[in-house]
Amino acid sequence: MNIVVCLKQTPDTEAKIVVQANGKDVEKDKFKYIMSSYDELAVEEGIKLKEKFGGTVTVVTVGTTKTHETLRSALAMGADSAIQIWDDSLENIDSYVTAKLLAKAIKNQGFDIVLCGQKAIDTGASLVGGMVAEMLSIPQVYLVTKLEAVDETKLLAHRQIEGGEEVIEVSLPVLITAQRGLNTPRYIKLPDIMKAKKKELKTLGLSDLGFSVADVASKVNVVEITLPPAKKAGKIFTNGESDVAELVKLLREEAKVI
Amino acid sequence: MSKDIWVLAETKDGKVRKITHELLTKASELAAKSGAGVSAILIGHNVASLAQDLAHYGANKVYVADHESLNTYTTDGYTNVIAGLLKENQAGTFLTGTTANGKDLTPRVAVRLEAGAISDATELDCDAEGKMTAVRPIYAGKAFEKVTFSGFPQIIEVRSNSFIAKDADESKTAEIINVTPNLGEVRTKVTATKVSSGDKIELTEADIIVSGGRGLKGPENLYLVSDLAKAMGAAQGASRAIVDAGWIDYDYQVGQTGKVVSPNLYLACGISGAIQHLAGMSSSKIIVAINKDADAPIFKVADYGIVGDVFQILPALTAEVNKTKAH
């Protein structure tokens, strides 16, 4: 089975956000980077499929050489090879262009199944997966919490919907987006890290994918980044239980929310 | 005159969903600014009778694709019908909700139309030509980005509870266009659907949320949270700490790696306010914190709070809410 996993390197969830003076970007120097947590589920699921059916797991990302550390963690988890796509013209690209680059690399690579996280934890966009699937002309199942392989050609994917789930039967090739609950990503052991260093990590530029700078113009542009407005100090009571009646009164009469 | 603003109408249990009313309200406000019309796509089976409901909230035209084969959502079937309509009618803007189906469909429709797309918009504005400017949270609400589109069409997924639906105006009517849906090849098959009992309020759509955290000390005490939620007609939420500890299902988790919510009222009970939790709920309109630690970060974002023991305050609060409700 030819398994491809798209992943993204993101700041960890404890990251503090500082906006740059230009108002259009955030300070990235102090970020501690991790693999977006949903993508970690996607990598784990890819490796599990390989363990069951054989084949290879290729991980692919769009980003600078900084992403090598994240790609290496995926290789240490058990992926076989990694692809990093980058060109300086790709700074601040939108979901559409990201998907275009990934789809082209995946197509060139060959695939039976493509796995992604259900969203990136930094932009929270949840768009790239579906865009890649559409560009590859393959079906998709979003928000998958359980994946059962009927055989090498057919899957049952449990998709989260409001208040419940659907079980979806689909034949390969397909794109799956991973939601929490799908699995528990394995811990990386030291020997795996050593082994990962020897695995193939390929870097592709725009021309390797047959694109020119004009092909990667974004359709959506960020014009400003702001921090949430500072909240004014709240009304905090300290007498415990005896404040309850007053609180309910304020919620009803002042805030008018109940 | 600008090109029309299109809205995907979502229905549930024979009713139009709240997010659709929110979208139509906003769409008609933006349409007035840009001289555009508002078109809605009503898709499903046995939904045609809801067309005028959409008119009451601002749709001028309702395209009805009502067919047995659309009874269950499928990515391929819905994408083919919806993208087909948008293309044929040269839609200027397409608004969907950040719902399970909205999330699934939006990226595919965008690529089909070769259009730029964004998700999770919480603010929306346009100029006289109908060019949209949207604001969306990034880093789960720790910051916001303002985005514009390079051209048309513009595809925008809007977060629930971002806009307030106006009251229905029953004097309004819409032109109804019945569509013969062409689903094309559908490559997935829904073999089972499990939906938990209908009275559970969906976190992302709730007006009020009561969430519990580690201050509750153990899963056996979560009834204090659910009792208050019930009294207030609220949805129940949870911090990541207690989800990770296995007290409650992931479905309830509010935060950067759980659900991002913006209700009118958010009550955080025994939650200290880790940055990853704050990221998921700080856009709530009113935040109430109940925690015994006066220095807990949750009090920094709270509009109201009580420093005290959740074991005493929650039952008292439930009783008080029930009492005032009875009046």
> What pLDDT, in 10s, does the model give residues A127-155?
999 999 999 999 999 999 999 999 999 99
**The domain B5-178: what is its CATH number?**
3.40.50.620
Is A223 in the B-facing interface, judged by CB distances under 8 Å?
yes
Residue B111 pLDDT > 80: yes
Nearest in space to B37 (alpha carbons), one of B6, B65, B63, B83:
B6
Closest CA to B252 of B288, B280, B275, B293: B280
Does the distance separating the beta carbons of A251 and B139 come in below 8 Å? no
Cα–Cα distance list, A253 to A84, A247, B273 (Å): 57, 10, 26
| Alpha-carbon radius of gyration of chain A | 22
Q: What letters, b where the CB count within 10 A reaches 16 and e where it falls short, cover B81-103?
A: bbbbbbeeeebbbbbbbbbbbbb
Domain boundaries, chain B: 5-178, 203-326
pLDDT category at B192 given cuts 50, 70, 90 is very high
Predicted confidence at residue B200, as pLDDT, reads 74
Q: Is B308 on the interface with A (CB under 8 A)?
A: yes
Q: Cβ contact (<8 Å) for A234 and B312?
A: no
- Comparing CA positions, the residue from B301, B53, B283, B73 lying closest to residue B160 is B283
pLDDT of the residue at B326: 67
CB contact under 8 A, B256 and A13: yes
What are the tens digits of pLDDT across the range A166-215? 999 999 999 999 999 999 999 999 999 999 999 999 999 999 999 999 99
**pLDDT tier for residue B46 given thresholds of 50, 70 and 90:** very high
Measure the CA–CA gap between A102 and A135, rounded to whole angstroms. 10
Average of per-residue pLDDT across A31-42: 96
Has domain A2-216 been given CATH number 3.40.50.620? yes
Task: Establish if B33 touches chain A: CB-CB under 8 angstroms.
Answer: no
Given a cut of 90, whether residue B311 has pLDDT beyond it is yes
Q: Which CATH architecture has domain B203-326?
A: 3-Layer(aba) Sandwich (3.40)
Q: Is B297 in the A-facing interface, judged by CB distances under 8 Å?
A: no
**Do the chains contact at A169 and B191, CB–CB below 8 Å?**
yes
Mean pLDDT of chain A: 95
Mutate to test the interface with A, among B306, B307, B324, B327 (most CBs of A within 10 A): B306
For A23, the 3-state DSSP assignment is coil
Q: What is the pLDDT of residue A240?
A: 86
Which residue is it, tokens 């409650």? B248
B197: confidence class by pLDDT, cuts 50, 70, 90: low
